[in-house]
Chains A and B, each alone.
Chain A
Amino acid sequence: MKEIKIITKDWDKIVPNNIESYRRVGGYSALHKVIRNFSPIEAIEDVKKSGLVGRGGAGFPTGKKWEIVAKNLSKEKYFICNLDESEPGTFKDRVIAEKNPHQIIEGIIIGSYAIGAKKAFIYLNGGFNIARVMLEQAIQQAYDNNLLGKSVMGAAFDLDLEIFFGAGAYICGEETALINSMEGKRGEPRNRPPFPCDCGLFGNPTVVNNGETLANIPFIFKKGADKFFAIGTRDCPGTKLFCVDGAVKRPGLYEAPIGITVEEILNNLAGGIKDGFELSFIQIGGASGRLAVSSMFGEIPSYSKNAKIPLGSGAVLVIDKFQDPKNIALSWLRFFQRESCGKCVPCREGTFRLKAILERLVNGEFDKNDREDLDKLIWVLDNTTFCALGKFSVVGLKDLIKYKIIEELNPVKKKKNAN
């Protein structure tokens, strides 16, 4: 496959905290072009034409989101870049912010110009210390070069950019919880509708975009929306960063066009399974992602609605047969139980009970009642929780049962499977 790179293309050519070196590879030329030649509506048209969808996990079309906010007549609008990355196994946003913070900032400025926001924020995970220093320096440099502040690049457009630090809560990556957290409330998700596009930060229309989504924006304006649309699949154009980890020869962060199959991720990007190991399953999209077993290697993980494997955050975890799948399942539930915000009962109690059942399963104390409760709890978490966290907590577990990776759940059937 041809190497097509958008986000990581210039990483080895630039010094991350130096605006001049970013400019040398064409940095901020997209912003220049947008501010000089495009009206906000034209800029949004271009993003819509490019077909860019959000890279945080849900895959909402970015252009559409911008358009809703741009059309709102409210005087005060906000633009937020979501860098509260805490999905287990995912580290793409942190690496972008460390390797090329200006790329994200350029995306933020273009986005704010398009929707007419005067104030933009970066919600940064409180634990990302290197990314914090890089972004702070990059923002200062942008202010010094008149890319932020009063009349950006001489145009009638003012923008202030501030970093807001989170304090370690997974749920604050959900956009309404993120907004609550910024307003000084508990970081619990809000009811939707109203969506943040209509009623977000301090009740004003707000765009919340993932850091990787914004890092794609400069390319769209530099090379043209058509060029971006030509990469990847029809539903989800562009490239994606994959964080490949686990029992592979070359774990690491890779960029590849969307449309790459599970097998290609495993063999072409990560160099295949480590010698002497045997594949059990692959989880795609972090702890809330679905599983792929060897019969599904031809599937294409993507954000399209009929994709069998949603791409999620782009984390790829390869689990070998030496690992006990029960431990992995317990690790998911421990994570979701810890990170459940406590707002709704099904999630707060459900994750706790399910964790207790899995602890019994790992310790060999799993009995018939637990088997019944397990199914009930999975159903409750899947269908009744307030936000998506409860649903996410059982995605992997459901697949483990569906693909019969955990066999001990049905001791009677276990003997049959042995043949």
Chain B
Amino acid sequence: MIVNKILLEFKPDKNNLLDAIKAVARSKGFFSNEDAEKTASYFKLSVAEVFSVASFYDEIKTKEPSNVVVKFCDSPNCQSKNVEKIINEIEILYRQKVGDENNRKLKIERMSCVGRCLDGPIMMVNGNIYEKVNSATAIDILSNYL
């Protein structure tokens, strides 16, 4: 029901599709198959068309995400500031690899540059950005979320 309400805020033009998908995804954290069906019928598009757009972008999740998603920027700039060491320590501490989806509580991911290279390494937890992290502060910040 809520999904339909959100969709009504947008004119059913195709150029509003991405904004509408983002709004739906924001309301519950991800964009499900049912959301895709509802959005498709509202915009008078095929479900495949809607879902192909939703699954294309990094910001939109098409599966229910873990409670806590921690991302580390691994672009060359953060790499030169030893982000790999932090990732390794987090992996060992929580006994899971980058990209593992089995843990409902936590997911570790790599992400692309967010343009804050001078304050790297950059860590993002549930959309909040933390700058100049090291192994100790990263573990500290993450434990506050879990």
Which residues from chain A sit less than 8 Å from chain B, CB to CB?
Answer: 85-91, 94, 125-128, 165-170, 181-188, 202, 243, 245-247, 251-253, 283, 287, 315, 317, 319-320, 323, 327-328, 331-332, 334-335, 338-339, 341
Contact = CB atoms under 8 A, between A and B. Distances in A.
Contacts, number: 113
B73 to A, nearest CB: 8
B77 interface: yes
B37 interface: no
Contacts of B14: 183-185
B97 interface: no
B132 to A, nearest CB: 12
Interface stretch (B62-70, B100-108, B112-120, B137-145): B112-120
A252 B119 CA distance: 10
B112 A170 contact: yes
Contacts of A125: 115
Closest 3 CB pairs of A and B: A88-B75, A184-B17, A167-B57
A130 to B, nearest CB: 11
A127 B56 contact: no
B117 A89 contact: yes
Contacts of A181: 18
A331 B15 contact: no
Central interface residue in A245, A315, A332, by most chain B CB within 10 Å: A245
A89 B74 CA distance: 11
A209 B63 CA distance: 35
Interface residues of B, number: 31
Contacts of B53: 184-186
A328 B80 contact: yes
Given A88-B112, A247-B80, A338-B112, A184 B75 contact: no
Nearest to A329: B76
Interface of B: 13-19, 22, 52-53, 56-60, 74-77, 79-80, 84, 110, 112-118, 120
B110 A323 contact: no
Contacts of B15: 182-184, 202
23 contacts: A89-B76, A89-B117, A90-B115, A94-B115, A127-B59, A167-B18, A167-B58, A167-B60, A169-B56, A169-B58, A184-B16, A184-B18, A245-B77, A245-B80, A245-B118, A246-B80, A317-B77, A323-B80, A328-B80, A332-B76, A335-B112, A338-B112, A341-B56
Given A188-B56, A320-B80, A323-B79, 17 more contacts: A88-B117, A89-B75, A91-B118, A125-B115, A126-B22, A127-B115, A167-B22, A167-B57, A167-B59, A169-B56, A184-B16, A186-B53, A245-B117, A251-B118, A283-B76, A319-B80, A335-B113
A287 B118 CA distance: 16
A186 B22 contact: no
B76 A165 contact: no
Contacts of A334: 74, 110
Central interface residue in A243, A251, A315, A335, by most chain B CB within 10 Å: A335
A128 B129 CA distance: 11
B22 A88 contact: no
Contacts of B118: 91, 245, 251-253
Nearest to A336: B112
Nearest to B118: A251
A88 B113 CA distance: 5
Contacts of B59: 126-127, 167-168
Central interface residue in A86, A127, A253, A339, by most chain B CB within 10 Å: A127
